[in-house]
Structure 1
Amino acid sequence: MAFSGFALAVLLLLSMASRGRPCADQERSALLRFVAGLSRDGGLAMSWRSNGTAGCCSWEGIACDGGGVVVEVSLPGRGLQGPVSPALGDLAGLQRLNLSHNSLSGELPLEQLLSSSRGLVAVDVSFNRLEGELRELMPSSGTGGLPLQLQVLNISSNLFTGEFPSGTWKAMNSLVALNASNNSFHGWMPSSFCISSASFAVLDLSSNRFSGRIPAGLGNCSELKVLKAGHNNLSGAFPDELFNASSLEYISFPNNGLYGNLDGSRIGIANLRNLAHLDLGGNLLNGKIPDSIGELRRLEVLHLDHNNMSGELPSALSNCTNLITIDLRNNYFSGELAKVDFSTLINLKTLDLLFNNFIGTIPESIYSCSNLNALRLADNKLHGQLSPRIVNLKSLVFLSASFNNFTNITNALHVLKDCKELAVLIIGSNFKGEAMPEDETIDGFQNLQYLSLSRCTLSGKIPLWLSKLKNLEMLLLHNNHLTGPVPVWIKSLKLLFHVDMSENNLTGEIPKDLMEMPMLTTENTAVELDQRVFLLLVYRGTSFEYRVATAFPKMLNFGRNDLTGVIPKEIGQLKSLAILNFSSNRLSGEMPPQLHSLTNLQVLDLSNNHLTGAIPMELNNLHFLAAFNVSNNDLEGPIPAGVQFSTFTSSSFGGNPKLCGVVVGRPCGLAEAHHVSTLSREQTHRRIAFAIAFGAFFGVGVLYDQMVLSKYFG
C-alpha cells in the first residue's frame, strides 16, 4: 500500500510538471490554427486563450508528456463545426486524436496526420459530417519512410464515399481495429488487413454499399475477433475459409445477399469455439442448422432470421447453455419444438420463432427458462392449451402467440394473469369460435400495456374485466363477433390511446364517454410508451415493423359494426386524435362541424353510413389530413376546395350524388360556387406557407396504412 501511494504521488507530480511546462511554439501554433479554422468552436478558443499563459499543455482537451510534447487531442462532443485542419499534422508527437461526436465537415487529412505524427496510434473522428474519398496510403508513408504505427482508426458515422483503398491497409503494420461503418463506401471488401498486421482484431464495415463476396483471405487473420459487415450488398456463399479464423468471437453479416448453407461447410462452424455472437439474418441462406452448433459453448446471440432455412431444430442446441438470444423468425423451420431441451438454456432472455412451420404443443421445458422476458411463437402451427407452468416465467414481459391453433381462451387468460411483469400480450387468431370470457376473477395483468385478442371470431360482449387494466394503452379486439354497446367505462382507462374494435357486431349509439378519453382529449400528442413493448418488434408481415412509440397513432377504429345514431358534437374534444374510423355502420345525421377541432387528424373515414347534409367547410382547418373518405352516404352541397381537399380523389366522395365540385365532375350552382371560391381564396392566403412546409410530409397511402395495418399487429 505504501508503494502504491508513492507511485500515485509520483504520477501526480509528473502530470503537474507536464501541465506546467509550456509546449513548443510550433505545437501551440498548430492547435491555434486548428481552432481558428472552425466555423464554430464551442467556446474552445476562449477557453484556450484564458489559459494561454500556462502553455498549451494546460488547455482543455490537450495532454502532454513529461517533456511538454502534445501527445493527445481529445475533444469529443464539443459541438465543433468546420473542417479538420491539416495543421494537426504539425503535432509531431501526437499519439491519440479524438474528435468524435461533433459536426466536423470536409475531407479528413489522414495522409498529413500520419506522415507527420509518426507515433500516432489512435484516430477517432466518428459521428461527424466528414465526406469525400479516402486517399490511398502506400507502405512508404510516414516520416523518413518509417512504417505507420496506427493501431485504431474509427471513421464511422460520416459521409465518406468512394471505394475503400486496399493499399492503405498494407501500409499499417500495427493496425488492430478499423471501424468504417455507417458511411457510403462501395466496391469490394479489402482482403489485405492481416497481410501486414498480424495483430488485426476488429473490422466493422457495416451499413455501407460494399458488394461482391466476403474475402476468403479473412480466414487467415489469426487474431481476428470481431467481423461486422451487415447492411451492405454482399453476395455469394459464406466462405468456408472464414471458419479457419478460430479466434472469432463476433460475426455479423445481416441484411446482405449471402446464400448457401451452414450445414454443408467443409471446415465446419464448430471450429469457431470462441464465437459468442452470430448474426446472419436477412440473407438467402438455406438448409438446416447444423448439429455442430452444439459445439459453440460460448454462443450467446444467434440471429438466423429472414432467411430460407428449413428442417427441424437440432437437439444439440441445448448444449449452447450461454445463449441469451435466439432469433429464427421468417424461415421455414418445422417439426416439434420439444426436440430441444430448453431447460438447459437458463440464460435465455429472447426466443423469437415467428413465421415458421413448427407443429405440436409448446414444450414444457420452455417454462424452465426463468430469465425469459420475450417469447414469440406467432404464425406457426402450434396447438393445445397454455400450461399453468407459464407462471414460472417470472420475467416474461412480451408474449406473442397469435396465428396458431390454441384453444380455451378462458384457461389462457387465467394462467397468464399471474405473469406479473407481462406488458405485451398478443394471442389473436386463436380460440376460433369461442366465447369471450366475462369471468370477473380475471383480475391480474396489472402491468399490461398492449392487448390483442383480434381475429378470434369471439362471441359475447366486451367484458368488464378489461376495465381493470389500468395500465392498458393499446387494445385490439377487431375481427370478432362481439355484440352489445361500446362500454361507457372505456374513459376510465386513463392511458388508453389506441383502440381497434372494428369488424364486430357492436350496436347502439356512440357513447359520449368515448369523447372523454384522457389520452385523446389532451393537447399533448406525444405517447410515452414503455420501451418494454418493443423488446421484440411488433409487426404483422415482413415489411411493416413498429420500433418506437410514435409508430402507434392515437386511434379510434369502430368501422364495420352496427352503430346507430349521430356522431356526437363532443367529438371535437379529441384534440390529439390521429385516426378516426366510423365507416360501415348505420350512423345518421350531419357531420358535426366540431370535427374541425381535431387539428392532429391524419385519417378520417366515415364512409358507408347514412350521413346527410353538407361536408363542413371548417374541415379545411385539418392541415395534417392525408386520408379522407365519406363515400356512400347521402351528403350534399359543395366539396371544400382547400389545400388538403385538393389532394383527395373522387373515390373519397363517390356514392353521394348530391355532392358537387371539380373532383366529382359535377359543377356547383352559382351561389355555391361563389361561396366556395370566396372561402377558398381567404383560406389559401392564410395557409399556403403552412401547406408548403407540411404538404409533402404526409403521403395518403402511407398514413392510411397506419390505420389498415393496425389490424395486423402480431
Structure 2
Amino acid sequence: MQTLHLSIKTCSKIFHLGFALVLLICLASPTSSCTDQEKSSLLQFVAGLSQHGDLGASWQHGTDCCQWEGITCSTDEIVTDVLLASRGLQGHIAPSLGNLPGLLCLNLSNNMLSGGLPQELVSSSSIVILDVSFNRLEGDLHELSSTPARPVKVLNISSNLFTGQFPPTTWKAMKNMVALNASNNSFTGILPTHFCNSFPSLVVLELSYNRFRGSIPPELGSCSMLRVLKVGHNNLIGNLPDELSNATSLEFLSFPRSGLQGILQDTNIAKLTNLVTLDLGENNFSGKIPESIGHLKRLEGLHLNNNNMYGQLPYALANCTNLIIIDLSYNNFYGQLNKVNFSNLPNLMSLDLIQNNFNGTIPESIYTCINLVALRLSYNNFQGQLAKGLGNLKSLSFLSLYYNNLTNITHALQILGSSKNLTTLLIGRNFQHETMPVDDIIGCFENLRFLAIGNCPISGKIPFWISKLANLEILILSNNQLTGIIPAWIKALSHVFYLDISNNSLTGEIPTALMDMPMLKSANPRDFILPVYPAQTHQYRQAFAFPILLDLSNNKFTGEIPLDIGQLKSIHSLNFSFNDLTGQIPESIFNLTDLQVLDLSNNNLTGAIPATLNTLHFLAVFNVSNNDLEGPIPSGGQFNTFGASSFDGNAKLCGSMIIHECGLAEAPPSTVLSTEQTDYKVACVIAFSAFFGVGVLYDQIVLSRYFG
C-alpha cells in the first residue's frame, strides 16, 4: 500500500516541478527552413539507429528538417526541440545531436536506445532539457571540465543501466541545474555532498533505486529551494541528519528501504511544514510518531511502514486534514484508534495498519471518511462487531480485517453486501466458531472479485449466496468446519480461477461440475489485478500473479477422481491430498500441460502411475505418497527430479529413485534417500515462489509487496 505514493495528486508534479520552470523555452513557433548543418546532424542520428520507427517517412534529404516529425524550429530558422519519446527507437545515440547549435530540448525517453550517453550532449552549450529516461543506456558518466558552466537545467537519466560514481567535476559544471533524476540505475559510491553548492537553484533531486552507500549528507539541508528529495532503495546507514530539517521548502521527502535508523525528532519534523509526502518506510526507525506531526498541515501521504516504531498514535495526527494515505503497517503501535479523530480527515483514501497491536473496537470515526478506498486493519487485536456506519463507505474497494477478534459474521456480511465498489474482502481468522450465514439475508456483492473467509473456523455449508458473486475470481474458504457436498452451482462462478476449500469436513464425491469451471478450462484466464492501487509511474510497476488453483485437500471426499479432470487445461496447482479417494489416477491428467503442483497423497488410490505424466514439463512438485499404487514409477522428464518422499507409503511401487528397484524379487518398503526432507506444504510454497513470485497467499500476498 505504501506504493501508492500519492500517485493521484502528487506524482505528476514531481519531475515537472523543474520541467515547468523551463518549458516555455521549448515552445517556440515553427519556421519554414533549417540549415544544412542541422539537417546533416539529424540524419547522422537516424543513420546510427537500427530501428527508427516511422521517422524515415518524413526525415528525407530533400525536405525541410523543420517539417520533420518530432522537430521544432524557432523563428530564426534554428532547430530548438528534438522530441522523440516513445518511438520504438533502437541503436546508439549519435554524438551529432550535440552539434545542433540552438537545441534547447532533447527528449529521447521511453525507447530502447543502448550504448553510452554521448559527452557532446551533456557538455552542450545550448541544451536546457535533456531526457533520456527509460532506455538501455549504460556505462559511466563522463568527466566534464567545471568551466564553462553548462546551461542544462533539467537532466533525466533515470531507468537506464548507468554505473559508476557521480563525477564531481561534471556536476560542478552544471550550476544551472533545477531538476536531476538519476533514479533506477546502478550508480555506486557515497552520496555526493556538493549538490547544494553546485546547484543553488536545485528543486528536484531523485537518486532512488541505485547502489549508493554511506550516510545522508548533512549538506542537503542547505538546499534552500529543494522541494523533492527521493533517495530511497539504496544502501545507506545512520540517521536523518538534523540539518535536513533546514530544507524547509521540502514537499516530498522519500527514503524508503534505505537502511536508516533512529527516531523522528519532534523539533525537526515541526520545521518541515511544507511536506506533502513523508516516506520513511522499510527502514529501522524506532520510537513514537512525534506530536509535531500535527504541524504538517499540507501532508497528504504518511508512509512509516515496516519499521520498529511503537506507542499510541498521537492525537495531533488528526490535524493533518489533507491526508490521503496513512501507511503505518508492520510496526509495533498499540492502543485504541479512537484517540485519533478520523472525521477530521475527509480526504483519506487509504489507511493501512496491518501487523500492529491495536485493540478495542474499530472507531466509528473511520466510517466518516467517505472517500476511503482501501482499509487494511488485519493482524491486530480489534474486537466486537462491525458498526453499521461501515456501509457509508461507498467508495470502499479493498477491505482486509483478517486475523482479529471480530464477531457476528452475519451482521458483517449484511453491512458489506451493499458495497457496490467492494472488490476485495478478506475477513478470515475472525468470527470464531460461528455459523456461515444463510442465503436470504446476504447482499449481492455485485463487484466482489476476491473473497477470503478462512481460518475462522465457521460451520455450516457452502452458502448459495456465493453463487451470486458474478465477478468473483478468487474464493478462499479453507480451514473451517464446513460440511456437506460441493454444490453443483459451483460451475456458475465463471470467473473463478483460484478455489481453495481445503481443511474442512466436506463429503461426497468430487463433483463433475468442478471440471466445467470456465477459468480452470480456458487457455487464456484473465489475471487478477488489484484495481485499488494504481502505479505511480511504470518505472515502479509490478504485476501480481496468482496460480490457477484447485485445492480440495484435507476433507472427506470419497469415490474416484473424475475421468474428465483432463479438461482443466489451464490449472497450475491441483491438490486432492488427505481425502478418501479410491480408484486409479486418471490418464487424462497428462492433458494438464501447465500443471506445476500435483498432490494426490494420503488417499486410497490404486493401480499404476500413468507413464504419460512424464510429459508434464512444468511439474515442479509431485506427491502420491501414502496410497496403494503399484508398478514402475515413470522415468524421464520432471520425474527424474522428484525424491523418494514423493512416493513413500506405496509398497508396490518400484523405480530407481526408491530402494525398491523394478525387477528385484524382494525389497524393503520405499524410503526417502535424501536427508533434506521438509514439510510438503513448505515445498509447495517454494514452488509457487519460483513460478509466480509469490510465497504466501491471503492478505500477505495482496499488498505486502507493492513498489515503493
TM over 0.5: yes
1:658-682 superposed Cα distances (whole Å, 9 cap, x missing partner): 11111113221399xxxxxxxxxxx
Choose which of 622, 626, 632 in structure 2 pairs with 1:632.
626
Aligned partner of 1:472 in structure 2 is 472
Contact 1:627 1:704 in 2 (8 A): no
**SS of match in other structure, 1:48:** coil
Matched, 1:602 2:596: yes
The structural deviation recorded for 1:548 is 3.7
Partner of 1:401: 401
- 2:531 is aligned to 532
Q: Is the 8 A contact 1:424 1:533 kept in 2?
A: no
Tell me the secondary structure at the aligned position of residue 460 of structure 2: strand
Q: Which of 38, 47, 69 is the equivalent residue of 1:36?
A: 47
Matching of residue 121 in structure 1 with residue 147 in structure 2: no
Distance 2:533 2:309 in 1: 26
SS in 1 for 2:432: coil
Opposite residue 35 of structure 1, the aligned amino acid is V
1:650 alignment counterpart: 644
Distance 1:711 1:420 in 2: 22
Letter in 1 for 2:689: V
Q: Distance in 1 between the 2:688 and 2:448 partners?
A: 31
Aligned to 1:379: 379
User: In the aligned structure 2, how far is the partner of 1:34 from the partner of 1:467?
Assistant: 61
Q: Which whole-Å CA distance do the structure 2 matches of 1:86 and 1:514 have between them? A: 63
Q: Deviations over 1:273-307 (max 9, x none)?
A: 11101111000000011100001010001110000
- Structural mapping, 1:280-299, within 5 Å: 280-299=280-299
| Cα shift at 1:517 | 0.9
The 3-state SS of whatever aligns with 1:268 is helix
Give the TM-score normalised by the residue count of structure 1.
0.88
Query: Which residue is equivalent to 2:19?
Result: none
Amino acid in the other structure paired with 2:275: L
How far the C-alpha of 1:270 sits from its partner, in A, is: 1.6
Give CA deviations for 1:321-378 in whole Å, capped at 9, x if unaligned. Answer: 1000000000000011000000010000000000000011101101100000110000
Return 5+ residue gaps in structure 1 as ranges.
Answer: 1-10, 141-145, 537-545, 672-697
Quick one: distance in 1 between partners of 2:454 and 2:122?
62
Other-structure match for 2:216:
214
Which residue of the partner structure matches residue 710 of structure 1? Answer: 697
- The equivalent of 2:681 in structure 1 is none
| Conserved 8 A contact 1:274-1:298 | yes
Change (3 A) 1:198 1:432: same
Shift of 1:312: 0.4
Counterpart in the other structure of 1:337 = 337
Distance 2:226 2:632 in 1: 71
Higher relative contact order (CA closer than 8 Å, sequence separation 6+) = 2
Correspondent of 2:261 among 259, 262, 282: 259
Work out the CA distance in 2 between the residues paired with 1:548 and 1:41: 30
2:555 pairs, out of 556, 561, 566, with: 561
Shift of 1:67: 2.2
CA distance in 1, matches of 2:57, 2:62: 13
Letter of the structure 1 residue corresponding to residue 67 of structure 2: S
Answer yes or no: is the 8 Å Cα contact 2:688–2:694 preserved in 1: no
Q: Does the CA-based 8 Å contact 1:436-1:458 persist in structure 2?
A: yes
Whichever residue aligns with residue 271 of structure 2, its letter is N
Counterpart code for 2:634: P
The 1:708–1:59 alpha-carbon spacing in structure 2 relative to 1, beyond 3 Å, is: closer
Paired with 2:534 and 2:585, the residues of 1 have a C-alpha distance of 41
Is 1:21 the counterpart of 2:27? The answer is: no
Letter in structure 1 aligned against 2:34: P
> Cα gap change, 1:276/1:622 in structure 2, threshold over 3 Å: closer, same or farther?
same
How many residues align? The count is 651
1:708 deviates by 7.8
Q: Distance in 2 between matches of 1:443 and 1:356?
A: 31
Q: How far, CA to CA, are the matches of 2:431 and 2:695 in structure 1? A: 23
Change (3 A) 1:607 1:575: same
* Matched residue, 1:246: 248
- When residues 166 and 703 of structure 1 are mapped into structure 2, their CA distance, relative to the original with a 3 A threshold, is closer
Are the counterparts in 2 of residues 627 and 703 from structure 1 also a CA contact under 8 Å?
no
Amino acid at match of 2:85: P
Aligned-partner Cα distance in 1 for 2:417–2:122: 63
Partner in structure 1 of residue 84 of structure 2: 75
**Which structure 2 residues correspond to residues 410-429 of structure 1 after superposition, within 5 A?**
410-429=410-429
Deviation at 1:457, TM superposition (A): 1.3
Deviations 1:48-72 (A, max 9, x none): 11xx334322222222222222222
Aligned equivalents of 2:452, 2:504: Cα separation in 1: 14
1:497 matched residue in structure 2: 497
Deviations 1:171-227 (A, max 9, x none): 211100000011000111112122133211000001111111111111100100000
Residue identity matched to 2:592: L
Letter in 1 for 2:480: N
Query: 1:36 deviation in Å?
Result: 1.6
Q: 2:617 maps to what in 1? A: 623
Matched, 1:268 2:262: no
Partner of 1:611: 605
* Conserved 8 A contact 1:478-1:711: no
d(CA) in 2 for partners of 1:148, 1:424? 52
**Counterparts of residues 35-184 of structure 1 (less than 5 Å):** 35-49=46-60, 52-110=61-119, 112-115=120-123, 117-140=124-147, 146-184=148-186
Residues 232-265 of structure 1, C-alpha deviations (whole Å, 9 max, x = no match): 1111101111111010011111111000011x35
Q: Write the distance in 2 (CA, Å) between the matches of 1:81 and 1:400.
A: 45
Aligned to 1:663: 657
Contact 1:598 1:622 in 2 (8 A): yes
Aligned residue for 1:355?
355
Of 53-62 and 303-312, more deviation after overlay is shown by 53-62
8 Å CA contact retained: 1:440, 1:464: no
Amino acid at match of 1:414: Q
Task: For residues 368-390 of structure 1, give each alpha carbon's deviation from its aligned partner in whole angstroms, at most 9, with x where no partner exists.
Answer: 00000110000001101000111
Residue identity opposite 2:53 in structure 1:
G
Report if aligned partners of 2:237, 2:259 keep a CA contact under 8 Å in 1.
yes
How far residue 121 of structure 1 moved from its aligned partner, in angstroms, is 0.8
Offset of residue 705 of structure 1:
8.9
Q: 1:238 to 1:427 in 2, by over 3 A?
A: same
RMSD of aligned residue pairs (Cα, Å): 2.2
Residues 1:136 and 1:100: Cα distance change in structure 2 (over 3 Å) = same
Deviates more, 1:350-359 or 1:94-103: 94-103
Runs of at least 5 residues in structure 2 that lack an aligned partner in the other structure? 1-24, 536-540, 666-684, 703-708
Q: 1:374 to 1:699 in 2, by over 3 A?
A: closer
Give the fraction of aligned pairs with identical amino acids, expressed as a percent: 57
Instruction: Name whichever structure is richer in helix by fraction.
Output: 1
Deviations 1:587-613 (A, max 9, x none): 011001011111111111000101000
TM-score, normalising length from structure 2?
0.89
Contact 1:355-1:380 within 8 A present in 2 as well:
yes
Q: Structure 1's 213 and 125: CA in aligned 2 closer, same or farther, altered over 3 A?
A: same
Greater shift in the superposed pair: 649-658 or 318-327: 649-658
